């Protein structure tokens, strides 16, 4: 399976059955993987994958995390702390509904809202907690550092925000009121980001900050409550 380039440093493997869109960030001497639903042998990278992150704990987003940990136990897996209980319950993480009842490794580092991860001298990731699809659903803002300034590269949105849609809230731990609040927060964030910034969802096509803002405004998420 071949990846599709989004920016010079970011590419993705489009979703297929039992997997979501899987994103790969290529840094100076390493790579970072977002939503490990594809096994290590399915990912082509000219740099070692040194960190794995998940936007949330549903099976189609973490289905291969055990394989990543088995291949290199010291490679850190990161996910928001509020989704950790889902990893132990096949009904709640939805693996049972994909015909592959499973439990998954716990994150080596639980994430919290607003946390900034320094990947290397060039890239930072900011954690944006967006509960609604699940309690721990999170987005990741990728930024490139240059002369003390941060330049946005892309926003990974998981199953919180898609191209002209948003994530379901009728799964276990889903919450419609929290989803509304999260989408309103994303509108405020996206309205401040470059219009052509790639917005990278867990399913369907890549969109842009301007198109996402237009959709959220038309859907009634542009007003703070």
Full DSSP string of 73-85: TTS-EEEEGGGGG
Nearest to 123 by CA among 104, 144, 107: 144
Query: What is the rounded radius of gyration, in angstroms, for the C-alpha atoms of the chain?
Result: 16
CATH T-level fold of 4-218: Metallo-beta-lactamase; Chain A (3.60.15)
Distinct helix (H) and strand (E) counts, the chain: 4, 15
Which three-class secondary structure state does DSSP give residue 192? coil
Residues, the chain, total? 225
Provide the CB-side half-sphere exposure for 165 (13 A, CA). 13
Domain ranges of the chain: 4-218
- pLDDT beneath 50, residues of the chain: 225
Contacts of residue 18, defined as CB under 8 A and 6 or more positions apart, other chains included, come to: 37, 59, 60, 63, 98, 100
C-beta contacts of 31-34 below 8 A and 24+ residues apart: 32/119, 32/123, 32/125, 33/68, 34/140, 34/156
Tens digit of pLDDT for each residue in 172-219? 999 999 999 999 999 999 999 999 999 999 999 999 999 999 999 999
Give the per-residue pLDDT at 225: 45
Question: Who's near 6: CB < 8 A, 6+ residues apart?
Answer: 12, 23, 154, 198, 200, 206
Is residue 210 packed enough to be buried (19+ CB in 10 Å), middle (13-18) or exposed (0-12)? Answer: middle
Q: How far is CA 28 from CA 9, 48, 144, 161, 169, in A?
A: 9, 11, 11, 29, 38
Cα 225 from Cα 206, distance rounded (Å): 28
Rounded to whole angstroms, the Cα distance separating 187 from 209 reads: 9
pLDDT for res 151: 97
The reported pLDDT for the residue numbered 1 is 73
DSSP 106: P
Res 147: pLDDT: 87
């Amino acid at each position: 399976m071949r990846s599709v380039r989004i920016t010079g440093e970011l590419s993705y493997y489009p979703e297929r059955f039992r997997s979501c869109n899987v994103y790969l960030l290529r840094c100076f001497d390493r790579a970072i993987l977002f939503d490990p639903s594809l096994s290590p042998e399915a990912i082509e990278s000219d740099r070692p994958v040194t960190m794995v992150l998940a936007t949330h704990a549903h099976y189609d987003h973490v289905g291969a995390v055990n394989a990543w940990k088995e291949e290199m136990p010291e490679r850190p897996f990161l996910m928001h702390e509020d989704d950790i209980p889902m990893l132990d319950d096949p009904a709640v993480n939805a693996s049972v509904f994909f015909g592959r009842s499973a439990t998954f490794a716990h994150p080596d580092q639980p994430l919290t809202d607003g946390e900034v991860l320094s990947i290397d001298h060039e890239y930072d990731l900011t954690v944006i907690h967006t509960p609604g699809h699940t309690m721990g659903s999170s987005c990741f803002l990728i930024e490139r550092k240059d002369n003390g300034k941060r330049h946005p590269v892309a926003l990974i949105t998981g199953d919180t925000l898609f191209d002209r849609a948003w994530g379901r809230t009728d799964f276990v731990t889903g919450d419609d009121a929290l989803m509304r609040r999260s989408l309103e927060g994303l509108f405020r964030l996206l309205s401040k980001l470059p219009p052509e910034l790639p917005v990278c969802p867990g399913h369907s096509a890549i969109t842009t900050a301007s198109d996402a803002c237009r959709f959220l405004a038309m859907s009634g998420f542009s007003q703070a409550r």
